[in-house]
Every structure is written in C-alpha cells, then in structure tokens.
C-alpha cells in the first residue's frame, strides 16, 4: 500500500470513528481521533 492509499484508508476510518463518537462520546476515542488527524496532517505516520 502506498502512502496515498494509506492516508485514504485512515481518513475513511476516521470518518467512521467520528460518527460513532457522536453516538457514544468517549474522551479516549476523542484523543485518538485528534492524534490520528494530526499525524495525517503532519505526515508523521511512518514507523
């Protein structure tokens, strides 16, 4: 999977999680959403 595909899949997962977060708010999930968004925006996702 190349970087573009990776970012696309993560973005789709983030959308799903945000919908679930609206139904059942959870501070831990909100923090992980924030971390994932920032990692995608900064490109800091390489291990």
| Residue 38, domain member (yes or no) | yes
Distance CA 25, CA 47 (A): 29
Q: pLDDT tens-digit profile of 7-47?
A: 899 999 999 999 999 999 999 999 999 998 998 888 765 55
Distance CA 43, CA 23 (A): 29
What's the predicted TM-score (pTM) here? 0.71
Does residue 40 contact residue 11 with C-beta atoms inside 8 Å?
yes
List the domain range (segments joined by +) for residue 11: 3-42
Structural domain count of the chain? 1
| Residue 22, domain member (yes or no) | yes
Distance CA 36, CA 18 (A): 12
Distance CA 19, CA 45 (A): 23
Q: What is the pLDDT of residue 43?
A: 75
Distance CA 27, CA 35 (A): 12
| Residue 47, domain member (yes or no) | no
């Amino acid at each position: 999977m190349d970087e573009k595909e990776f970012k696309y899949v993560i973005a789709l997962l983030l959308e799903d999680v945000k919908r679930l977060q609206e139904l059942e708010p959870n501070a831990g999930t909100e923090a992980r959403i924030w971390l994932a968004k920032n990692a995608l925006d900064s490109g800091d996702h390489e291990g």
